[in-house]
């Protein structure tokens, strides 16, 4: 009897895995807006743009938005977006406007031993600028896989030690907000691909340490950093569960953990919006 139930559940699960699950909507800075592209024809996938970045567009077939429009834009909202300003998204020649709400992220105070990680010298800054350009190019990578990726599993096992969006102070000095989710895990523990994708950057960066960036298609990319080891190279095609590298404490850290960034339309958003049952 138990076996039958398990088989039944598995059957349901594999059916569910075929249908497209949209990420969770959260119209706040650092969140995601799902904008039904009303009035656009079904025969051609429109291209959409938001704040000069190309935006993911999915078919609404088999989704709760199917009776509103044929297509939905899935747009990442920047942490610095202002709730007082109407947001403007363009698809084909049509403008779509939407509002966002404010979100108050908590502050976090960290102390790091390497003072250059708080006040980099001019050489460090020049290096970081080059590395940032390399990372932004990876975040802007555009590809269109047959099966769009809209869901992630967690890339490492462990407690969430710092959520996305925290306002950050290093050695009491204000710095950029936390652009990802931290998962605490022991040095050397595995980091896996949370969805299919292609490796588009591998580097050893000033702040991020050993880093890998994956492209999942339609403007969705993900970054893994502070690793002790990377197991992949640029161009590798990974499936869910494939090894990326190992947990470490390289770059600007207070201890071993994975920093996991998820980027949509070159905009860093809360990774957990893509994780079901987190």
Sole window of 99-107, 125-133, 215-223, 254-262 interacting with Zn ion (rule: CB under 5 A): 254-262
Closest distance of CB 259 from Zn ion, Å:
3
Q: Which stretch binds Zn ion (CB under 5 A): 119-127, 175-183, 204-212, 264-272?
A: 175-183
Nearer to Zn ion, 87 or 267 (CB): 267
If one asks whether residue 259 binds Zn ion (CB under 5 A), the answer comes out as yes
170 closest CA partner among 228, 120, 100, 127 = 120
* Burial of residue 180, with CB atoms counted within 10 A of its CB: 0-12 exposed, 13-18 middle, 19 or more buried: buried
* Distance in Å, CB of 226 to Zn ion, minimum: 8
**In terms of CB distance, is 131 or 182 closer to Zn ion?**
182
Segment near Zn ion (CB under 5 A), from 3-11, 184-192, 238-246, 252-260?
Answer: 252-260
The answer to the question of residue 182 lying near Zn ion (CB under 5 A) is yes
Q: How far is the CB of 223 from Zn ion (least distance, A)?
A: 10
CB of 5 to Zn ion, least distance (A): 40
| Nearest-approach distance from CB 211 to Zn ion, in angstroms | 12
| Residue corresponding to tokens 């390399």 | 134
- From the list 52-60, 174-182, 187-195, 199-207, the region that binds Zn ion by CB under 5 A is 174-182
Q: What is the nearest approach in angstroms of Zn ion to the Cβ of residue 225? A: 8
Residue nearest to Zn ion (CB): 259
Comparison of 91 and 212: residue with beta carbon closer to Zn ion: 212
Alpha carbon distance 80, 236 (integer Å): 33
Q: How many CB atoms lie within 10 A of CB 30?
A: 23
Instruction: Give the interface with Zn ion as residue ranges (CB under 5 A).
Output: 182, 259
């Amino acid at each position: 009897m138990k076996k039958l139930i398990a088989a039944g559940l598995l059957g349901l699960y594999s059916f569910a895995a075929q249908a497209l699950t949209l990420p969770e909507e959260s119209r706040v800075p650092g969140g995601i807006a799902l904008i039904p592209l009303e009035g656009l024809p079904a025969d051609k996938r429109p291209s959409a743009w938001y704040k000069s970045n190309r935006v993911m567009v999915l078919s609404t077939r088999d989704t709760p938005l199917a009776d509103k429009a044929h297509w939905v834009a899935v747009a990442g909202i920047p942490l610095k977006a202002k709730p007082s300003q109407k947001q403007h998204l363009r698809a084909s020649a049509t403008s779509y406007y939407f509002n966002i709400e404010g979100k108050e992220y908590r502050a976090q105070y960290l102390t790091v031993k390497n003072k250059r990680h708080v006040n980099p010298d001019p050489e460090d800054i020049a290096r970081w600028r080059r590395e940032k350009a390399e990372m932004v190019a990876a975040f802007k990578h555009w590809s269109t896989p047959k099966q769009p990726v809209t869901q992630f599993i967690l890339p490492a096992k462990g407690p969430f030690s710092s959520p996305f969006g925290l306002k950050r102070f290093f050695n009491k000095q204000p710095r950029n907000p936390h652009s990802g989710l931290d998962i605490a895990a022991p040095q050397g523990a595995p980091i896996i691909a949370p969805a299919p994708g292609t490796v588009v950057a591998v580097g050893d960066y000033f702040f991020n340490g050993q880093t890998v960036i994956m492209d999942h298609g339609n403007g969705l990319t993900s970054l893994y950093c502070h690793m002790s080891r990377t197991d992949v190279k640029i161009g590798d095609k990974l499936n869910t569960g494939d090894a990326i590298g190992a947990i470490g404490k390289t770059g600007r850290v207070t201890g071993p953990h994975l920093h996991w960034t998820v980027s949509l339309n070159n905009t860093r958003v809360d990774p957990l919006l893509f994780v079901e049952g987190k």
